[in-house]
Amino acid sequence: MTVRVRIAPSPTGLLHVGNARTALFNWLFARNRGGTFIVRIDDTDRERSTPEYERDILDSLRWLGLDWDEGVEVGGPHGTYRQSDRFDRYRELAHRLVAEGHAYHDPRTPDELEELRARARAEGRHPGTYIRRPSQQARTGPIRLSIPQDRPIRFDDLVRGEVVFDPASVDDFVILRSDGTPTYHLASTVDDIDFAITHVARGEDLLPSTPKHIVLAEALGARPPAYAHLPLLLGPDGKLLSKRHGATAVSAYREQGYLPEAMFNYLALLGWSPGGDVTIFSREEAIGAFDLGKVSKHPAVFDPAKLEWMNGEYLRAMSTDEFLRRAFPYVETAVGRALTGDEKRAIATIGLLVQERVKTLAEVADQVGFLLGEPDYDPGSWQKVMTGDHVPTVLDEALRRLERLEPFDHRHVEETLRAMLDQLGLGARKGLQPIRVAVTGSSISPPLFESIAALGRDRTLERIRRARRRLGG
Ligand code: GLU
């Protein structure tokens, strides 16, 4: 059997890390089995679906390297892979189910249905218990599937083992609304059958839908796919993952300068591991070791701090050239323009120092901003560092020494400024911080001597003079 799996995002929001984890597990499973990974767009909700969200979802999948073999934009034998283009198909099948006796038009009003639900609730039963085929037949109204009550609904979940549902707990649910639009249950089940999906791996939040999909598939004369319900994601505090815990959209992490390979690695660990204590692994290693049957059924914790740590590990493992190549676009976004060749070369001279200090690519702009234009003085740094009585002397002496320094490289800069400290009888903190604020605008910067060398003599002198003028006297 050739494995065919799908993800079915609804374009009603940005790609959430939980859905990205679902996509990743489907992709790993397909790649491990030499199968087909499909992306279908579940856009039956016409009100809330937008092209912008669809773009975000597809861009985020591509950014993570989760390429798909069939589906939206790449094509395949099943049309556009957008549910909004398949409404005729869903309608046709809903009416066929009515004709064959598996489904019926429900003539009851919302008030009547609410009364049935209230009765069930009062008796402590499942709210849908009494939503069953009424004696009176109708030819209009929403179409409900009739759930056979004579046998339990069971299936073997690849993650959870055998799962059994009491049919009394499954109401006769709507498959086609009275306006002729399909529900998620109908569209999703029909597509899984039509597209010959072999395994449905999706979040555990959809577990209550699965007995409905199984009965529906059987009524349509199909064998249901195998199911794997993936564990929920929690925040570090053990509560369901939400925006309170930090960003939940994949694109937000991309904007913050996370690497797709770090994100991929971290998401893969949410409910699975390749074994042993291994936490850092390549895509190929993950593909080789992955199986849906090895996914844990216990909730997984999404911890932004661990993701940040992992991102730092990946950043430091790459060559400095590679680091710079990937950092430059983030710096350009931060300054709102392209970098010149000279600027890139200046940044490159402190590339390794920056690489050792940042946890995300977006932080690079803060570190190298002083090379890209006159910095504004950070008010806190100025107040703390530049108000001491010794500061004018330090700046005058640094100017005198740097003006005639030859060659102007970081080793000679260090030598002469350390000699200056001795001469003035100052410690490194007191004597060098004023120069740092003068040159970079802030009391926090990459190492000073390298920064000065990267900036070059003219700009360094200019900035020290500017700070000196600001002090007056
Ligand atoms: N559109 C559904 C969702 O976004 C997909 C559910 C499924 O995989 O069947 O949750």
Phi and psi at 75, nearest 5°, equal: 85, -165
**In a 3-state reduction of DSSP, which class is residue 233?**
strand
Q: Is the CB of 471 under 6 A from ligand 1?
A: no
pLDDT of the residue at 399: 98
- Check residue 128 and give its pLDDT: 87
Measured in Å, residue 206 CA sits from the centre of ligand 1 at: 8
Q: Is 438 left (phi over 0), alpha (psi -120 to 50) or beta?
A: alpha
Phi, psi (deg, nearest 5) at residue 124: 70, 25
Q: How far is the CA of 8 from the centre of ligand 1 (A)?
A: 5
User: Which is catalytic among the residues 239, 243, 294, 306?
Assistant: 243
Tell me whether domains 1-73+231-317 and 86-230 share a fold: yes
Domain positions in the chain:
1-73+231-317, 86-230, 379-471
CA of 151 to the centre of ligand 1 (A): 27
Q: What is the pLDDT of residues 326-355, one digit of tens each?
A: 999 999 999 999 999 999 999 999 999 999
**What confidence category does residue 433 fall into, taking pLDDT thresholds of 50, 70 and 90?**
very high
Helix (H, G, I), strand (E, B) or coil at 205: helix
Which residue reads 């690695």 in tokens? 265
The CB of 271 under 6 Å from ligand 1? The reply is no
Helices (H), 336-390: 341-349, 351-355, 364-368, 379-385
Nearest ligand 1 atom, CA 6: 8
Average of per-residue pLDDT across 443-466: 96
Report CA(389)–ligand 1 centroid distance (Å): 66
Q: How confident is the model at residue 267 (pLDDT cuts 50, 70, 90)?
A: very high
Alpha helices in 150-209 (DSSP H): 184-194
Closest CA to 132 of 117, 122, 121, 118: 117
| Residue ranges in 356-444 assigned as alpha helix (H) | 364-368, 379-385, 391-403, 410-424, 428-440
Can you say how many angstroms the Cα of residue 138 is from the centroid of all Cα atoms in its chain? 47
What CATH code is assigned to 379-471?
1.10.10.350
> 12: burial class by Cβ within 10 Å (0-12, 13-18, 19+)?
middle
Gap between the Cα atoms of 98 and 94, Å rounded: 7
Is residue 156 within 8 Å of residue 162, measured between CB atoms? yes
Q: Is the CB of 10 within 6 Å of ligand 1? A: yes
Minimum CA distance residue for ligand 1 atom 6: 8
358 lines ligand 1 (CB under 6 A): no
Q: Is pLDDT of 272 > 80?
A: yes
The domain over range 86-230 is classified in CATH as 3.40.50.620: yes
How would you label 424-449 residue by residue, b for 16+ Cβ within 10 Å and e otherwise?
eebeeebbbbbbbbbbbbbbebbbbb
pLDDT band at 159 (very low <50, low <70, confident <90, very high): very high
Mean pLDDT of 185-207: 98
Ligand 1 atom with the shortest distance to the CA of 200: 8
**pLDDT for residue 473:** 72
Q: Tens of pLDDT along 233-246?
A: 999 999 999 989 98
pLDDT at 276: 83
243: annotated active-site residue = yes
pLDDT band at 277 (very low <50, low <70, confident <90, very high): confident
Q: What percent of the chain has pLDDT over 90?
A: 95
The DSSP call for residue 301 is E
Question: In this structure, are residues 369 and 439 in contact, taking their beta carbons and an 8 Å threshold?
Answer: no
Q: Beta strand pairing status for 153-157 and 143-145? A: unpaired
CATH T-level fold of 1-73+231-317: Rossmann fold (3.40.50)
Residue of minimum CA distance from atom 7 in ligand 1: 8
Q: Quick check: 204 and 175 in contact, CB under 8 A?
A: no
Centre a 10 Å sphere on the Cβ of residue 163 and count the other Cβ atoms it contains: 16
Q: How confident is the model at residue 257 (pLDDT cuts 50, 70, 90)?
A: very high
pLDDT at 275: 87
Let me know the angle formed at the C-alpha of 312 by 306 and 317, rounded to the nearest 5 degrees.
130
CA distances to 23, 72, 281 from 66, in Å:
8, 13, 16
- pLDDT mean across residues, the chain: 96
Q: Is 206 in the pocket of ligand 1 (CB under 6 A)?
A: yes
Q: How far apart are the first and last CA of the chain?
A: 85
**210-235 per-position pLDDT tens digit:** 999 999 999 999 999 999 999 999 99
Confidence band, pLDDT 50/70/90 cuts, at residue 429: very high
> 315 CB contacts (<8 Å, ≥6 apart)?
259, 262, 323, 355, 358, 359, 360, 361
Q: Ligand 1, from 38, 53, 206, 207: best to mutate by most atoms within 8 Å of Cβ? A: 206
Q: pLDDT of 360-403, one tens digit each?
A: 999 999 999 999 998 899 999 999 999 999 999 999 999 999 99
Angle at 301 between CA 60 and CA 32, to 5 degrees: 55
Q: Who contacts 278 (Cβ-Cβ below 8 Å, separation ≥6)? A: none
